[in-house]
Amino acid sequence: MGPYGDVRAHSGAAKAQHDARRPVAGVAAMSEQVKGFAPSAVSTQRMGGPRGWARKYSARLLVVDVVAIVLVMAVAHMVKFGPDPLEPVAGPSAPAYVWVTIGISVLWVVQLGWGRSREPRVLGHGPQEFQRVVNASWHTLAIVAIVGFLTQWQVSRGYLLFAIPLGTIALLGCRALCRRWIHAQRDRGELQAQVLIVGPRRTSEQMIRRLRHARRAGYNVIGVCLPRGEDSHLADDVADVPVLGTLESAADRAKVVGAEYLLVSGTDELSLREARQLGWELEGSGVGLIVLPAMVDVAGPRMRMSPVEGLPLLHVETAGFTGGRYILKTAIDRMAAALALALLAVPMLAIAIAIRLTSPGPVFFTQVRVGRDHRLFTMYKFRSMYQDAEGQRDALAGLSRMDVGNEVLFKMRDDPRVTPVGHFLRRYSLDELPQLINTLRGEMSIVGPRPPLPLEVEAWDESVSRRQLVKPGITGLWQVSGRSDLTWEQSVQLDLYYAENWNLGGDLVIIFRTIWAVVAARGAY
CA torsion through residues 391, 395, 397, 399, sign: negative
Helix (H, G, I), strand (E, B) or coil at 92: coil
Are 82 and 139 contained in the same domain? Answer: yes
CATH number of the domain to which 32 belongs: 3.40.50.720
In this prediction, residue 30 carries a pLDDT of 39
Are 33 and 83 contained in the same domain? Answer: no
Q: How far is CA 198 from the centre of its chain?
A: 26
Picking from 166, 187, 208, the residue at the C-terminal end of a domain is 187
**pLDDT tens digits for 106-146?**
999 999 999 999 998 888 887 788 889 999 999 999 999 89
The whole model's pTM is what? Answer: 0.65
Q: How far is CA 193 from the centre of its chain?
A: 18
Q: State mean pLDDT over 22-39.
A: 38
Are 182 and 224 contained in the same domain? Answer: no
Reported as a pLDDT band with limits 50, 70 and 90, residue 21 is very low
- Is there a contact between 407 and 492 (Cβ–Cβ < 8 Å)? no
- In a domain, residue 6? The reply is no
- In a domain, residue 525? The reply is no
Mean pLDDT of the chain: 79
Q: State mean pLDDT over 388-415.
A: 55
**pLDDT tens digits for 148-161?**
888 888 888 888 88
Q: Is the pLDDT of residue 343 over 90?
A: yes
Helix (H, G, I), strand (E, B) or coil at 233: coil
- Is there a contact between 195 and 222 (Cβ–Cβ < 8 Å)? yes
Are 80 and 27 contained in the same domain? Answer: no
Picking from 236, 271, 292, the residue at the C-terminal end of a domain is 292
- Is there a contact between 420 and 368 (Cβ–Cβ < 8 Å)? no
Are 263 and 357 contained in the same domain? Answer: no
Helix (H, G, I), strand (E, B) or coil at 184: helix
In this prediction, residue 14 carries a pLDDT of 36
- In a domain, residue 307? The reply is no
Q: Is the pLDDT of residue 404 over 50?
A: no
In this prediction, residue 25 carries a pLDDT of 34
- Looking at the structure of the chain, the number of domains it has is 3
How far apart, in Å, are the Cα atoms of 196 and each of 111, 124, 218, 254, 288?
A: 34, 21, 13, 6, 10
- In a domain, residue 309? The reply is no
Partnered with residue 381 across adjacent β-strands are 365
Are 162 and 227 contained in the same domain? Answer: no
Q: State mean pLDDT over 471-495.
A: 79
Alpha helices, DSSP H, located in 152-271: 157-187, 201-213, 250-257
In this prediction, residue 333 carries a pLDDT of 95
- In a domain, residue 499? The reply is yes
Q: State mean pLDDT over 20-39.
A: 38
Q: State mean pLDDT over 431-455.
A: 93
Helix (H, G, I), strand (E, B) or coil at 289: strand
Q: Which segment of 81-85, 244-248, 433-437, 496-500 scores lowest on mean pLDDT? A: 81-85
Tell me how far apart the alpha carbons of residues 292 and 310 are, in angstroms, rounded to a whole number.
18
Q: Which residue has the higher pLDDT, 169 or 389?
A: 169
Calculate ∠ Cα 197-203-204, nearest 5°: 30
Alpha helices, DSSP H, located in 407-525: 420-427, 435-440, 454-458, 477-480, 488-501, 504-520
Partnered with residue 223 across adjacent β-strands are 196
In this prediction, residue 43 carries a pLDDT of 59
Helix (H, G, I), strand (E, B) or coil at 475: strand
Reported as a pLDDT band with limits 50, 70 and 90, residue 70 is very high
Q: Is the pLDDT of residue 75 over 80?
A: yes
Are 498 and 360 contained in the same domain? Answer: yes
Are 86 and 115 contained in the same domain? Answer: yes
Are 198 and 161 contained in the same domain? Answer: no
Picking from 164, 187, 210, the residue at the C-terminal end of a domain is 187
Q: Which residue range(s) make up the domain with 254?
A: 19-42+192-292
- In a domain, residue 231? The reply is yes
Are 385 and 466 contained in the same domain? Answer: yes
Q: Is the pLDDT of residue 298 over 60?
A: yes
Are 64 and 31 contained in the same domain? Answer: no
Are 266 and 336 contained in the same domain? Answer: no
- In a domain, residue 479? The reply is yes
In this prediction, residue 301 carries a pLDDT of 62
- In a domain, residue 2? The reply is no
Helix (H, G, I), strand (E, B) or coil at 380: strand
